[in-house]
Amino acid sequence: MERWSSGVLLGKIPDSVLFRTIPSLQYSITQYPTLVDSLVRHVYKTGSPSKKGSTMRRIFVTGLLLSAIVCGWSSASFAADTIRIAYSSINPHALLVSLAEKRGLFAKYGLSSVVVYVPGGSTVVQAMVSGDVDLGQLTGAPGVAANLRGADILYIAMTDDRMGYQLATRQDIKSPAELKGKRLGISRFASSADFGTRTLLKRLGIDPKEVTILQIGNEAERLTALKSGSIDGSVFNAPFGSVAKKFNFNILADAGALGIPYFNTGMCGSAKVLQKNEGRVLNFLRAYLEAIKIFKTEPEYTLKALAQFSRVNDQELLKEAYDYNKNKIPDVPYPSAKAMQAVIDPLVEADPKLGKVDARNYVSDRYLKKLEEEGFVKKLIGR
């Protein structure tokens, strides 16, 4: 399977998510069976683990692998200053957490980190609510959707305040009117891709009810579905122009060009967890801000890190993604209530029973303000 995000070809990986060992433990907490099956196939290269004669060996290896995962997770989770971070897509914004780990910044600020990839923002929210992870890197939509159902997700940082999706379609669909009756792929309902799709359709004068919206999966899976003709279009993170040209897709709408306000990506967690672990959260943000500085001031190093993170060797695509995002990420990523309100309003409009919802209840700048007040920011970036 190929992975795509932010317009970058993200290499070939198994259908399951990546698995890396501690301290960079990376797997989907929702896909243990798929993960284990994939690992067993990788170790033995025998094809389907259900073949006759392989059952006992599979049970044995499965037990070992699952034990390694659980023990690794547990040993890291119970460390005094461990912080568990989840991200749902592979892109330059998610790279910030990887940079912090790669450069030893979490350790520098007294943290042991466990990083997990969890497909779909709504699934990351579930992991935070259940206590499986402490922080998530997400757009505003999944957190808002969960909060409207009673969750307590609070965003403490934001690295982009504009929607970055581009709506790509098959070559034969050349106008918005031709979208009616077509099949558009998203990741999951209530996800950022779902929100972005509906927003762009409305901007094009198309009622979302006039299309069929299908849950397909992440950007890689949606790209595969679009290439095969299983769907007629989908949203992809910009810059997607090079990819669209390569596969003869049409881009019918560009949220970036339209300047749509949106809480595009940021760091969040359960308000209760954040409150109980303020020192840990502040240390995470110290590492995160230093990673932003590295991202913006060390392009050569960052491009190499992005290539390793994404497993992409196409320097043109990597540089396109880096250049597109470099100036979008602020030095101090304060969360914007205005950008969050832009996420909330359409959801409330669709369900008036929700009443008035104030975005200021979903964001908090007090952690970053504390770093500014103590002089950390000035020492780091000279302001």
Q: What percent of the chain has pLDDT over 90?
A: 63
Q: Quick one: which of 5, 3, 6, 4 has its CA closest to 328?
A: 6
The least confident of 59-73, 181-195, 226-240 is 59-73
User: Do 38 and 156 have their domain in common?
Assistant: yes
Q: How far apart are CA 319 and CA 287, in angstroms?
A: 24
Q: Quick one: which of 100, 27, 11 has its CA closest to 302?
A: 100
The three-class DSSP label of residue 141 is helix
pLDDT, position 50: 39
pLDDT, position 36: 34
pLDDT, position 25: 36
Confidence of residue 68 (pLDDT cuts 50, 70, 90): very low
Helix ranges (DSSP H) in 168-249: 192-203, 219-228, 241-246
Strand order in the sheet with 250-254: 212-215, 183-186, 233-237, 165-169, 250-254
pLDDT, position 356: 93
pLDDT, position 237: 84
Q: Quick one: which of 94, 347, 37 has its CA closest to 218?
A: 94
Q: Which of 231, 259, 287 is the last residue of a domain?
A: 259
The least confident of 39-48, 95-104, 196-205 is 39-48
User: Do 238 and 365 have their domain in common?
Assistant: no
Q: What percent of the chain has pLDDT over 70?
A: 79
Q: Which of 259, 294, 326 is the last residue of a domain?
A: 259
Confidence of residue 121 (pLDDT cuts 50, 70, 90): confident
User: Do 348 and 254 have their domain in common?
Assistant: no
With beta carbons less than 8 A apart as the criterion, state whether 211 and 200 touch: no
| CATH code for position 357 | 3.40.190.10
Q: How far apart are CA 160 and CA 315, in angstroms?
A: 24
With beta carbons less than 8 A apart as the criterion, state whether 207 and 201 touch: yes
Confidence of residue 18 (pLDDT cuts 50, 70, 90): very low
**Considering the chain, what is the average pLDDT of its residues?**
82
Q: What is the pLDDT of residues 298-330, one digit of tens each?
A: 999 999 999 999 888 889 889 989 998 998 999
Confidence of residue 245 (pLDDT cuts 50, 70, 90): confident
pLDDT, position 9: 36
Confidence of residue 69 (pLDDT cuts 50, 70, 90): very low
User: Do 234 and 289 have their domain in common?
Assistant: no
The 3-state secondary structure of 105-128 reads HHHHCCCEEEEEECCCHHHHHHHH
pLDDT, position 218: 83
| Token reading at 213 | 């919206």
pLDDT at residue 250 tops 90? yes
Q: What is the number of domains present in the chain?
A: 2
Peptide bond into 23 cis (omega under 30): yes
pLDDT, position 61: 35
Average pLDDT for 3-28: 35
User: Do 226 and 115 have their domain in common?
Assistant: no
Phi/psi of residue 105, each to 5°?
A: -75, -35
Residues in the chain: 383
pLDDT, position 117: 86
User: Do 145 and 172 have their domain in common?
Assistant: no
User: Do 276 and 137 have their domain in common?
Assistant: yes
What is the span of the domain harbouring residue 329?
A: 2-162+265-381
Q: How far apart are CA 137 and CA 363, in angstroms?
A: 14
User: Do 80 and 211 have their domain in common?
Assistant: no
Q: What is the pLDDT of residues 189-234, one digit of tens each?
A: 888 899 999 999 999 999 999 999 999 988 889 999 999 999 999 9
pLDDT, position 246: 87
Residue carrying structure tokens 């592979």: 90
Peptide bond into 142 cis (omega under 30): no
DSSP 185: E
| Token reading at 351 | 């369900």
pLDDT at residue 131 tops 60? yes
pLDDT, position 350: 85
Strand order in the sheet with 261-270: 112-117, 82-87, 135-138, 261-270, 153-162
User: Do 12 and 126 have their domain in common?
Assistant: yes
User: Do 145 and 189 have their domain in common?
Assistant: no
pLDDT at residue 152 tops 80? yes
pLDDT, position 79: 46
Q: Which of 199, 228, 259 is the last residue of a domain?
A: 259
Q: How far apart are CA 308 and CA 99, in angstroms?
A: 11
Q: How far apart are CA 323 and CA 235, in angstroms?
A: 20
pLDDT, position 151: 96
HSE at residue 76, side-chain half, CA atoms within 13 A, is 23
User: Do 117 and 63 have their domain in common?
Assistant: yes
pLDDT at residue 42 tops 80? no
Q: How far apart are CA 51 and CA 247, in angstroms?
A: 38
Confidence of residue 3 (pLDDT cuts 50, 70, 90): very low
Q: What is the pLDDT of residues 283-292, one digit of tens each?
A: 999 999 999 9
pLDDT, position 5: 42
pLDDT at residue 29 tops 80? no
pLDDT at residue 128 tops 90? yes
User: Do 123 and 77 have their domain in common?
Assistant: yes
Q: What number of other Cβ atoms are within 10 A of residue 314's Cβ?
A: 14
pLDDT at residue 371 tops 50? yes
Residues 6 or more apart from 202 whose CB is under 8 A from it? 208
